[in-house]
Every structure is written in structure tokens, then in C-alpha cells.
Amino acid sequence: MKRVAILISGGGSNMLRLVESMTGDHSARPVLVLSNNPKAGGLIKAQQHGVQVAVVDHRPFGKDRAAFEAELIKPLQAAQPDIICLAGFMRILSAEFVAQFNGRILNIHPSLLPKYKGLNTHARALASEDSEAGCTVHLVTPVLDDGPILGQAKVPIVENETVDSLAAKVLRMEHQLYPKVLKKFAQNETQPVYLP
């Protein structure tokens, strides 16, 4: 049975779908939900689902990323995850940290990578007058939002689309895509998932 740690910074809606998906014949189970934000709403949801939680607040470390990551690694070492899922985790991880879990960190990004790496993806898609948007699950490598794609889901951009309406549509697809990708990844199937 593969052990999965999920890193969050906020509400944890993706984390919740991942936790709820790991049942029955799924070859993975959640062993830790870890946040850099002590107020992350997802921590309560994780506890309600009986998942171990931990918090390493990044703020006391200021710009000292290495010191923050030296603390962040501790609950992960205790939980011994086989797979780490970043789910709305808003801190950039160093190449050294990523290297310790090389090839075993997944991330979900709210754009059709390689387009719109970084932030404000929906506003950028609207500004470019794209006809579609979406989300991508990828392996995390030292380069931000750049690793091999494990899955993508598309949504149309319609007349009068706003950032909020697009974000809501994409988030709903994230909730479908991420659990499907994790299930395959946990079975060592790397054939990418494309939705719809």
C-alpha cells in the first residue's frame, strides 16, 4: 500500500478529493496532511477524515527557505510517504528538497501547462482571449511548474467569462483529474490522463 502525504496552504478542496478517493482497491492511503499555514481550512477537513495533520508555519523563517524546508521535512520523514501531492500548496520548494523525493512529488496547476506557469493563470488566459483553459497534474522538478505532465483537463472559455467563473470551472475539473492521476500513479501507470 503506497503512503501519500498531501501539502496544502488553504481550503484543501483538492486534498479532500484525494483523501476521499483513497479507499477500497486504491493502492494508496493518506498518511499526512501538512500545511505551511496554521489557519489552513484544509487541516480541519483532514482531521475530520481521520488523517494525521502537521503544520510548519513558513512565516518565522522569513526568506530563509532552507531553514523552513529543514523543518518541513521532519513530519514528512516521520510519515515516510511514498508519494507527495502538492494541492494548493503555495510555497516554492527548492531543488534540494525536490531532489530528496525525486520523481515522487505531484502538483496540480490551474492552467494547461506549459502555458501560464506561475500565478494568475485564469486572468492571463482571459487576457490572451484563449478559447479554452484547464488544469494540469505534473511531476515536480526543480524548475517551477515544468515537470512531465501526468494529466490535463480542459474547460471552454465562454462569452463574458470572468476570472471567478473560470476559476470555479477549472477547480471542479481539478477535483476530477487529480484523484484519477494519483490512482494511476500509485499503480505505476504513467500514461497521462486527459479529460474530458
Which of the residues 58, 109, 122, 175 is marked catalytic? 109
Give residues with Cβ within 8 angstroms of 173, minimum separation 6: 134, 135, 153, 154, 155, 195
58 in catalytic set: no
DSSP lists the bridge partners of residue 5 as: 32, 84
Q: How far is the CB of 16 from ligand GRF (least distance, A)?
A: 8
Look at residues 178, 71, 65 and name the one whose alpha carbon lies nearest to residue 54. 71
Q: Write the DSSP assignment of 63-80 as a string of letters.
A: T-HHHHHHHHHHHHHHH-
Which of 4, 6, 7, 13 contacts ligand GRF by CB under 6 A?
Answer: 13
Instruction: Please tell me whether residue 87 binds ligand GRF under the rule CB under 6 A.
Output: yes
Least Å distance, CB 30 to ligand GRF, is 14
CB of 175 to ligand GRF, least distance (A): 8
Backbone angles phi, psi at 128, to 5 degrees: -85, 0
Residues in CB range of 107: below 8 A, 6 or more apart: 85, 86, 89, 137, 138, 139, 140, 145, 147
Site size toward ligand GRF, by CB under 6 A:
14
Residue 99 vs 156, nearer CB to ligand GRF: 156
Considering the rule CB under 6 A, would residue 126 count as an interface residue with ligand GRF? no
Q: Is 174 in the site for ligand GRF (CB under 6 A)?
A: yes
Q: What is the smallest separation between the CB atom of 2 and ligand GRF, expressed in angstroms?
A: 20
5-13, 28-36, 49-57, 63-71 -> range binding ligand GRF (CB under 6 A)? 5-13
- Using CB under 6 A as the criterion, which residues of the chain lie in contact with ligand GRF when the complex forms? 8, 10-15, 42, 87-88, 108, 110, 171, 174
- Residues serving a catalytic function are 109
